Amino acid sequence: MNRILSVGSAFPAFKKTAVVSLEKGKEFSDLSSESLFNNEKWTVMFWWPKDFTFVCPTEIAEFNKHYKDFKDRDTQLVGASTDTEFVHLAWRNNHDDLRGLRFPMLADTSKSLAEELGILSADDKTAYRVTYIVDPQGIIRWVSVNDMSVGRNVDEVLRVLDALQTDELCPCNWEKGQETIKL
């Protein structure tokens, strides 16, 4: 496995197909680093190992429940895996919790982006369960990696995003609205 791209690194340039809708003829769209970064918005990109599995839809549905919370923070939400856009579309069409997704499902079919990020498992070359918070300039500000069998905590992603957006020193367990550390 490559070394995981981490905090302070520029998010790699990419252009991939994403599932953006269930409406016939409008299901797919290109998504690129150029369209995500340098637009004064933050980005949260979260990766899951495989479509049609058990833990992954629970996380995707939870991110979707918090879609407005991310939007209120001027943050774009993008889900991603190494499955194809056609597998993503079939999964969305056939899973009750995924039909109403409000964010794109990126298809890294070539695995090139996952490889650049260093998040492919050594055994079967699927992406680890990784979350990136990327600032508006395309710089990675937070990375979290979970074992394949453990779902992430979306509230923690929001907490860290809030802390990063203060651009101040935030103590342990800090939550939005609490005092930051003043020097």
Longest CA–CA span in the chain (Å) reads: 56
Phi-psi region of 36 (alpha: psi -120 to 50; beta: other; left: phi over 0): alpha
CB burial of 149-162 (b: ≥16 within 10 Å; e: otherwise) equals eebbebeebbbbbb
Supply the DSSP string of 12-67, one letter for each residue: PP-EEEEE---STT-SEEEEEHHHHSSSS-EEEEEE-S-SS-SSHHHHHHHHHHTH
Residue 172 annotated in active site: no
Catalytic residue among 20, 44, 56, 163: 56
Sheet containing strand 42-47, strands side by side: 28-32, 15-19, 105-107, 75-81, 42-47, 129-134, 140-146
Query: Which residues are known to be catalytic?
Result: 56
